[in-house]
Structure 1
Amino acid sequence: MVDNIPVHVDPARPAAPTLEQVAERAGVSRSTASRAINGGLRVSPEALASVEAAVTDLGYTPNRAARSLVTKRTDSIALVVPEPDERVLSDPFFAGTLNGLSTSLADSDMQVVLVIARPGESERTVRYLRNGHVDGAIVVSHHANDELDRALQLSRVPNVFVGRPLSADERDVQYVDTDNVEGGRLATQHLIDRGCRRIATIAGPEDMSAGIDRLTGWRNAIRAAGMPDDAVVRGDFTMASGTIAARELLARFPDVDAIFIASDLMAAGALSVLAEHGREVPNDIAVVGYDNLGVAASTTPPLTSVIQPVVAMARAAGARLLDQLNGAPPSPPLIFAPELVIRASA
């Protein structure tokens, strides 16, 4: 028997105001109060003002679940990251993305849901997005083989990519990016102007637009200068891959006097290898990285680096997604111009 279990009510704690009390205070029906709170559809300006005043006076907090039933909105968006958990927690790119996205949503009621789409789980991720758990999605660190752009395009879930998508028609996908081709060219041209004559690169992954485009920029500058463009090894934008790639690079191309490295994390790994081999930076080998997200200023020596304006890119992506949710027409891609910050490594 559980009927005789006493229920203790704290008499000092006032009961939460109800929708009925809001309606009574505003002098409107319960249904009018509900519509006013959940979007204001079919409510006169006078009634809307009365309900808003009653909500403020009573300190009423709407039931989010009930509101979702009326508005068909969850007031949440997904930040989709197709990377392993440990990468998300260790790479400053993702902290900058969260910072920018949170800033863009500061004046809205939107909440951010982090969705880590592990390798091979793209279908599960898209199913989650399509089933109404969120109103839209921001996708970062996109890989060609996860095909999130195509799947999201078919799902009709509002979305914006941070970084140029690879597999879908770019005209049908909204995205923001930095000009990675120009960034790679800018970094390499700086090394050429410095007098370097055997310039290698540690490129990013060939299944990501940033990896492809930064390598293209390096090649454009190298070929324009009449230099060989064979000194290429690849990493995956992590510090560990930069260490492995630098060892391979020195073994295959011992005559290099400069390296453009497609991320600062990879550059940090490469700098440790150069120090192990007694190659002084920048006197023996000059180094330029990419991102300028905090790592560059803390390496030894500090890295010359191309700015990737991650916070601004994520802020712009969030603003564009809000525009989509409010019915605005699609926007053309927004491309930020790269800049070079010169430090001791070059």
Structure 2
Amino acid sequence: MTSRGTRSREGKARDGRPPTLEEVAVRAGVGRGTVSRVINGSPRVSERTRAAVEAAVAELGYVPNRAARALAANRADAIALVVPEPEARFFAEPYFSDIVGGIGDALADSGMQLLLTFAGGARERRRLAQYLAAHRADGALLVSVRADDPLPELLTGIGIPTVISGPRSAAEPLPSVDSDNAEGARTAVSHLLARGRRTIATITGRLEVYGAACRLDGYRRALAEAGHAPDPGLIAVADFSEEGGRRAMAGLLARRPDLDAVFAASDVMAAGARQALRAAGRRTPDDVALIGFDDSAVARHMDPPLTSVRQPIEEMGRAMAELVLAVVAGESGPRHLVLPTELVVRESS
């Protein structure tokens, strides 16, 4: 006797319903997105998995939905990397090259191309929207996005699956990948305290950037854990640039000449801070210890070499690409990934 949900060789259940993609996935022992990739001829599956799915399709008599097949046929086989920053900053900062490297690694075996585009102004955003609305890309990756940037809503409004690097807030609705900014900063400042530093300043990035605000929170948390009340005079806001770090450091020295340590929220700003310290006759680390964030090539090549919080930037890029590929394929999974950081101690602290 056959139960209500049992499928016949003709692909019909006793209730007359055709088999579904989900039932094929259960029969094959894979995810729904994997079945979709096999049916649409994607190279991103192993031969063993392909054979299992094809066997389940044949056994259940599954017939792919025509609309879904048409959508697959219209795919661009491309992912857009959208950067709302000036091109000069993109090519000057190691963060961007590292994250592109990770994205490229993840896309290498997917058959997807990577399209790089800059969208820092209203005209560029309009052109990008027109381009993507014409189905020139299957998904988008956003990096360096400010809290008030309209780009995420623009992309989701035209139906482009989008993943963001660094959420805009704790309530970010888009899938996102980030490093543990607050814990990285807390670890850096705790290291300075353990080395006997007591008047510790920080140079933050733009605080409308959620990651920069989290790093400031970590700085404050480390001080509070050690019984120190944060001093507003020891906090300088900059813009993640070398010149911004130099100006911020000069201002800190003018306000608090007694400071004995600085945590800069990026290696690039730490390099600018080092220039200001040297110009003021302060030795690093003898007079002022210095720590950065990113553990980029800048940190390793400074004099003295810079202690820095390592965030796994390439791994973040890979995770972003894998996440957007999963969203494009209709797969479910974690929507918000936070990767751990590590303090790399060098001579500057």
TM-score (norm 1): 0.77
| Code of the aligned partner of 2:272 | G
Structure 2 residue ranges without an equivalent (≥5): 1-37, 43-50, 52-68
Following superposition, the deviation at residue 232 of structure 1 comes to 0.6
Please name the residue that 1:341 is paired with.
Answer: 344
**1:287 has 2:304 as partner:** no
Offset from partner CA, 1:308-341 (integer Å, 9 cap, x none): 1110000011011111121102523111111100
Find the counterpart in structure 1 of residue 90 from structure 2.
Answer: 88
Give the letter aligned to residue 200 of structure 1.
A
CA distance in 1, matches of 2:89, 2:215: 21
The answer as to whether partners of 1:39 and 1:71 remain within 8 angstroms in 2 is: no
Runs of 4+ with deviation above 6 angstroms: 67-70
Q: Distance in 1 between matches of 2:229 and 2:71?
A: 63
What is the CA deviation profile of residues 242-271 of structure 1, one whole-angstrom value per residue up to 9, with x for unaligned ones? 111111111111110000000000001110
TM (normalized to structure 2)?
A: 0.77
Amino acid in the other structure paired with 2:298: V
Cα distance between partner residues in 2 of 1:84 and 1:250: 30
Letter in 2 for 1:129: L
Find the aligned partners of 2:239 and 2:152 in 1 and give their Cα distance. Answer: 21
Residue of structure 2 in register with 1:177 after alignment: 178
Give a deviation string over 1:159-197, Cα, whole Å, max 9, x none. Answer: 11111223xx84631011001011111111111111111
Q: How does 1:1-346 map to 2 (within 5 A)?
A: 39=41, 71-120=73-122, 121-166=124-169, 170=171, 172-229=173-230, 230-346=233-349
Provide the rounded CA distance (Å) in 1 between the counterparts of 2:70 and 2:94. Answer: 34
Measured at CA, do residues 70 and 339 of structure 1 come closer, stay the same or move farther in structure 2, by a change above 3 Å?
A: closer
Larger radius of gyration: 1
For 1:172, give the aligned amino acid.
P
SS at match of 1:315: helix
Letter in 2 for 1:150: E
Counterpart Cα distance in 1 of 2:333 and 2:152: 15
Structure 2 residue matching 1:146: 3-state secondary structure: coil
Please state whether the residue corresponding to 2:148 is helix, strand or coil.
helix
- For residue 9 of structure 1, what is the aligned residue in structure 2? none
% of aligned pairs identical?
42
Counterpart Cα distance in 2 of 1:70 and 1:332 = 23
Amino acid at match of 2:215: R
Contact 1:122 1:146 in 2 (8 A): no
Match of 1:289, SS state, is strand
Q: Distance in 2 between matches of 1:159 and 1:183?
A: 26
CA RMSD of aligned residues (A): 2.4
Structure 1 residue identity aligned to 2:93: D
What letter matches 1:259 in structure 2?
V
C-alpha separation in 2, matches of 1:37 and 1:197: 63
- Over residues 278-308 of structure 1, what are the superposed CA-to-partner deviations in whole Å (9 max), with x where a residue is unaligned? 1011110001100002110000111000001
